[in-house]
Amino acid sequence: MTELESPEKIAKDIAKLERNLNQVAHIEFVGKEKEVYDRAIDYWNDSKYYLEKEDMRTAFGCIEYSHGLLDALRMIHGII
């Protein structure tokens, strides 16, 4: 397991994603944007699941993918 895949790092990334989700809470996503948002949420939940199961590699991959999807939406809406 690498440092990036440590439970502490993944937990920090999960908390960071929660903060980023709060930044878009006021946006009503529609169409493809809603699909991207829903997928980001799914990967966020998957990350928490795999962290609980101690599958750090999968948890890390899920949270990083979720961040990428959410960042794309935040960029489109001028938040970052």
**pLDDT tops 90 at residue 2:** no
What is the tens place of the pLDDT at every residue in 56-78? 999 999 999 999 999 999 999 99
Encoding tokens for residue 38? Answer: 């829903």
User: How high is the pLDDT of residue 4?
Assistant: 64
Domain segments of the chain: what residues? 30-79
Instruction: Quickly count helices (H) and strands (E) in the chain.
Output: 3, 0
What is the tens place of the pLDDT at every residue in 4-44? 679 999 999 999 999 999 999 999 999 999 999 999 999 99
**pLDDT tops 90 at residue 48:** yes
Judge contact between 73 and 40, C-beta under 8 A. Answer: yes
Entry pTM: 0.90
**Domain 30-79 fold:** Substrate Binding Domain Of Dnak; Chain:A; Domain 2 (1.20.1270)
